[in-house]
Amino acid sequence: MEKLLLSCSSARSSAHTTRKLIGFKRRGQYVRCMNQLANYGIKPIKSIRRGRLIVCYLDNRRTDELHSLAAHPDVKFIEPDFKVRAHGIGPDTKTGSGPVRIRSRRPASPYVKRKLRAKSAKAGVRSNDSGGSAPWNVKQVQAHAVWPSTRGGGVGIGIIDTGIGKNADLYVSGGVNTMGGSSYADDNGHGTHVAGIAAGLGKNGLTGVAPGAKLYAVKALDANGAGYISDLIKGIEWCIKKKIPIINMSLGLEGETSSALKEAVERARKSGIIVVASAGNSGPSNNNGIDQPARYSDAIAVAATTKSGRIAEFSSRGSGIDVAAPGSYIKSTKPGGGNAVMSGTSMSCPHIAGGAALLKALNPSLTPYGVKKRLRASANKLSGYGSKAQGYGVAQLSDAAGIEREAESARHRSKARASARRKKK
């Protein structure tokens, strides 16, 4: 098998090669192949030991050898190292929101773009974020009602994205660049915006869902908001190694299937990590359903709502959506300071990642399935939409946390104690 791989591999990209992910069934076979490639001076583009994955250029002209390699009993799969893209719709330059450069795999429709241009100028003044109060989007998911009990209590959230930039409303506890660089700074703006929604500190009036949570920047997408599946998997493995309890992935793979990414998300879930992923921005007309990794049962899939409590026009429809959260004209942090207004299921996703941090802070023993179950059971179903648009409905974090039930129980206990005291007198 090592000889087959060697005969198909190339040390560099060319017109005859394709970047591929090779998954092995056993670690020993992975190690032997790595050693064989090294002996011949071929360094894989990436290698992921825990996942038993090698990323390399395979020569398309070696048809027989490629078929034999794919059919080998020690090879689990060979698949393209697909590109994934951020699920954000960037701000209109006319609004002066800042140089956030988001390029979606499938651009927003002309209808969506017209609505963004017409309303984005109003988004800043309509947000309820003055005087340190909770923004409208945070209120829509009831996060502010949980804050008297917890603000996230140091629960870690790994933002797998374009990185996180400097902003007074963000504190980054650490990070990694899985694309080969050393910096996890944000050169796009998308990751910084997502991070602010999840855990903005509120110093400038924009408080995130879980302002007490710890942010970790995992830079797996480039300046254009794109990255390879292998970059994501590296980021997931880093979070597993660092025991970060929540992963936010405001990105997706549309219309393709990746066994490697599915297995990585499953490994994360089995490690106790809550994986939250955005559904996609293809709207109701897309036949591919929601994107991966949101499509996986091991992830919590999030659709987008508007301020008026409707499902956003751009939000992808399909089986597998768990809950919905605000994603239309959301104001959040941008690199270098200040804020920007953006839309997309990218913006919905960190509402749920931040919400998971609140739930974990209140109950550290909650499993990924336990968090998903609570979010589903307490969601507010929107009339006029089926489950393929909203899942179980708009997330209601206070209800998921049982805050009202606990408050009611406390009132009953207080009344009972007062009654007992009166009887003694």
The tens digit of pLDDT for each residue in 4-62 reads 888 788 878 899 999 999 999 999 999 988 998 888 888 899 999 999 999 999 988 99
Least confident piece of the model among 2-11, 48-57, 102-111, 346-355: 102-111
Total number of residues shown for the chain: 425
For the chain, give the percent of residues with pLDDT over 70.
Answer: 85
Q: Residues 81, 129, 161, 298: which is the catalytic one?
A: 161
Distance from first CA to last CA of the chain, Å, rounded? Answer: 87
Cα 86 to its chain centre, rounded Å, is 9
Query: Per-residue confidence at 417, pLDDT binned at 50, 70, 90?
Result: low
Annotation marks residue 322 as catalytic: no
Amino acid of residue 77: F
161 is catalytic: yes
pLDDT at 413: 57
Contact criterion met (CB below 8 Å) for 339 and 189: no
Please say if 346 is a catalytic residue.
Answer: yes
Residues in a beta bridge with 227: 84
Both tokens of 105, joined, read: 């795999």
Cβ proximity of 333 and 164 under 8 Å: no
The one catalytic residue in 258, 346, 378, 398 is 346
Find the catalytic residue in 87, 144, 190, 351: 190
Between CA 235 and CA 58 the distance in angstroms is: 24
* Residue located via tokens 């909770």: 134
Instruction: Tell me: pLDDT of 381 over 50.
Output: yes
What average pLDDT does this structure show over 298-320?
Answer: 97
Per-residue pLDDT at 415: 59
pLDDT at 2: 79
Q: Residue 186 above 80 pLDDT? A: yes
- What local confidence, expressed as pLDDT, does residue 149 receive? 96
Lowest-pLDDT range of 225-229, 349-353, 389-393, 411-415: 411-415
Helix (H, G, I), strand (E, B) or coil at 305: strand
Token pair recorded at residue 218: 């995992």
* Lowest mean pLDDT segment, chosen from 80-94, 152-166, 355-369: 80-94
Q: Is 165 in contact with 63 (CB distance < 8 Å)? A: no
- Residue 95 has what pLDDT? 28
Strands of 178-235 (E only): list them. Answer: 214-219, 226-228
Q: Where would I find the H helices in 185-288?
A: 190-199, 229-242, 259-270
With a CB cutoff of 8 Å and minimum separation 6, the contacts of 349 are 87, 194, 248, 249, 250, 276, 277, 278, 302, 325
pLDDT category of residue 411 using cuts at 50, 70 and 90 = low
Three-point CA angle 167, 172, 174, nearest 5°: 145
CA of 360: how far to CAs of 41, 138, 327, 370, in Å? 47, 18, 23, 10
- Residue 120: is its pLDDT beyond 60? no
